Structure 1
Amino acid sequence: MNRSIAGIVLILLGVGLYLNHGQPVDAGTIFGHFWPSLFVIPIGLFFHWLYFSMLAPRATGLLIPGGTVFTAGIVCQIAMLTDGWAYLWPGFIFAAAVGLFEFYWFGGRNRYLLIPISILMVLSLLFSAVFTIGALFNQVAVSGPTLAILFVLIGAFTLLGGKSKT
Structure 2
Amino acid sequence: MARNSYTIGIVLIGVAIILLLGKLGVIHFIASFFWPLVLLIPGLLFHMLFFNRTLPSGVLVPGGILTTYALMFFYCNLFGWGAMSYLWPGFILGVAIGLYELHLFDRNTHRGVWIAAMILGAISVVFFVITLLFKLGVYVIALVLVLAGAALIFRRPRSW
Question: What TM-score do the two structures reach when normalised by structure 2?
Answer: 0.65
Q: Name which of 69, 72, 77 aligns with 1:72.
A: 69
Secondary structure of the corresponding residue to residue 55 of structure 1: coil
Which structure 1 residue ranges, 5 or more long, are not aligned? 1-23, 155-161
Q: Partner of 2:27 in structure 1?
A: 27
Q: Distance in 1 between matches of 2:100 and 2:119?
A: 12
Q: Distance in 2 between matches of 1:123 and 1:51?
A: 28
Higher mean alpha-carbon deviation, 97-106 vs 108-117, is at: 108-117
Question: What TM-score do the two structures reach when normalised by structure 1?
Answer: 0.63
* 1:13-36 CA distance string (max 9 Å, x none): xxxxxxxxxxx9722122212211
Aligned length: 125
Q: Distance in 1 between matches of 2:61 and 2:137?
A: 36
Q: Distance in 2 between matches of 1:90 and 1:61?
A: 23
Deviation at 1:55, TM superposition (A): 2.2
Q: Distance in 1 between matches of 2:51 and 2:61?
A: 13
Which structure 2 residue ranges, 5 or more long, are not aligned? 1-23, 149-155
Q: Distance in 1 between matches of 2:25 and 2:136?
A: 33
Deviation at 1:92, TM superposition (A): 1.0
Q: Distance in 1 between matches of 2:86 and 2:30?
A: 23
Q: Partner of 2:41 in structure 1?
A: 42
Q: Distance in 2 between matches of 1:43 and 1:137?
A: 38
Q: Distance in 1 between matches of 2:114 and 2:53?
A: 27
Q: Partner of 1:8 in structure 2?
A: none
Bigger radius of gyration among the two: 2
Question: Is 2:59 aligned against 1:62?
Answer: yes
Q: Distance in 1 between matches of 2:71 and 2:113?
A: 24
